[in-house]
Amino acid sequence: MTDAPSRIVALDHLRGAAVLGILIANLPGFALPVAAYFSPAAWGGTTLADVTAWALTYVLVEGKMRGLFAMLFGASMLLVIDRADARGGNGAALHLRRMATLFVIGCAHLYFVWSGDILSLYALVGYVALLFSAAPLRLLLFAAAACLLIALANGLAIAGLGTVVERVFGRSTPADLAREIAAMRGGWRSNVAWRWHEEAGPFTAFLANGPETLAYMLLGMAGLRSGFLTGAWPRRRYAMIAAVALLTTLPIFALVAAHTIVRDFDAHTVVLASFVVSPLLRPLTVAGYAALLLMTVQEGRVAAAGRVALSNYLACSIASTALFYGSGAGQFARWDRAALYLLLIPAWAAMLAWPRWWLARFSHGPAEWLWRCAARGTWIRFRRSSCERDAN
């Protein structure tokens, strides 16, 4: 999210891996009723393949790639502010304009494309994160820990909601499922009307998910300040962090997944797994993934995908809803969960193929360029000059 000559390849590499991983978690959200995101028992099949697909996603991906993405958002936010200040500008004012513009983009994505938007949430949390832009490392870590405790308290509160837990995280009722499926298989207006009336808005998401998201943004700011996210630490230290973090947390996630399966995806068990256990363990897992990925940094296709992460993220939503919603091919709730992951092969191929070609000709991804122009209130040169293209 900075100009190309001063980009930090490690951040691009991590961001590219995160946006690829987020698609794994999002596929059930695109294709299946909302309750099925957390539970195969709600919809999408309960065969061995379907349950295994859920378990692998829960253990390895759910919330973890989103956490990594939020960390990188915090790091990039701090870079933008610091670099604007270093140029004699007002970094805080620029950041606020960027968040305002991102909020508009996110709301358009949320209501007109897909209800699983994270951009509007990031924009709202980004306003709060600005308060910590000058905070020392220890304060960032302390505040992140406090936010995670609040997220844990939120999870415990959700677990006590009774009927709401059953509706959103359990098997739901046939009538509710039929209404949602009909809305998603209907036309675009039907989709928008459903999201407007039935889905949580950005401010509700902020109250529910804001504390955990802020924690990851603060950890990202700390990771930038300490050199952890820029690849400045010794390779041996990254290897140690990856081994300790992943070998400690992933087996626990696996045990929780097994317990959830044994309990036949009881709604309260599902909530405890995703909203109570996960916030405690996820930060270590995210740090482990980051350390592992930082051992493989190179200026290749993954880093290029990270430079256009916003464009890739939005393109996935547009392509997926075109396949599953009634305004497109109308495949919503027609695929088994396990079959959905076959889509990763062409999707990842596309996400990795176009960025290098595009960036050789253009200075920014299309969505990134639009965001920059709107936030800065000025036209930014889009196409690279012939000299720039030759240099690449």
Question: Mean pLDDT in each 10-residue stretch from start to end of the chain (392 residues)?
Answer: 65 97 96 91 92 97 96 96 92 96 96 94 97 95 96 82 62 84 93 87 90 97 96 96 97 96 89 89 97 94 96 97 95 96 97 96 94 89 63 46
Q: How far apart are CA 294 and CA 231, in angstroms?
A: 6
- 349 with 79: CB under 8 angstroms? no
Task: Compute the CA torsion angle 68, 70, 74, 76 (nearest 10 deg).
Answer: 70
Q: Exposed, middle or buried: residue 115 (CB in 10 Å: 0-12, 13-18, 19+)?
A: buried
Burial state string for 336-356 with b = 16 or more CB within 10 A and e = fewer than 16: bbbebbebeeebeeebbebbb
Burial state string for 127-144 with b = 16 or more CB within 10 A and e = fewer than 16: ebbbebbebeeeebbebb
Q: How far apart are CA 227 and CA 322, in angstroms?
A: 41
Q: Enumerate residues 6+ apart whose C-beta is below 8 A from 264.
A: 41
The parent domain of residue 187 ranges over: 4-391
Q: Exposed, middle or buried: residue 390 (CB in 10 Å: 0-12, 13-18, 19+)?
A: exposed
- Residue 155's pLDDT is 83
Q: Enumerate residues 6+ apart whose C-beta is below 8 A from 98.
A: 80, 126, 371, 375
At which residue do the structure tokens 């290749």 appear? Answer: 300
At which residue do the structure tokens 């464009």 appear? Answer: 311
The alpha carbon of 366 is separated from its chain's Cα centroid by a whole number of angstroms, namely 19
| pTM assigned to the model | 0.92
Q: Give the single-character DSSP code of 103.
A: H
Token output for 361: 């000709």
- 368 with 376: CB under 8 angstroms? no
At which residue do the structure tokens 């797994």 appear? Answer: 273
CA angle 341, 21, 366 (to 5 degrees): 105
Letter for the amino acid at 57? Answer: T
Domain count along the chain:
1
Q: Enumerate residues 6+ apart whose C-beta is below 8 A from 70.
A: 122, 125, 213, 216, 217, 220
- Residue 197's pLDDT is 87
- Residue 7's pLDDT is 85
Q: Exposed, middle or buried: residue 30 (CB in 10 Å: 0-12, 13-18, 19+)?
A: buried
Q: Quick check: helix, strand or coil at residue 383?
A: strand
- Residue 391's pLDDT is 46
The H-assigned helical ranges of 160-266 are: 163-169, 174-185, 188-198, 202-226, 235-262
At which residue do the structure tokens 């209404």 appear? Answer: 179
Nearest CA-CA partner of 324 in 180, 156, 132: 180
Q: How far apart are CA 279 and CA 281, in angstroms?
A: 6
Q: Enumerate residues 6+ apart whose C-beta is below 8 A from 49.
A: 336, 338
- 124 with 201: CB under 8 angstroms? no
CA-based end-to-end distance of the chain: 19
Q: How far apart are CA 72 and CA 287, in angstroms?
A: 12
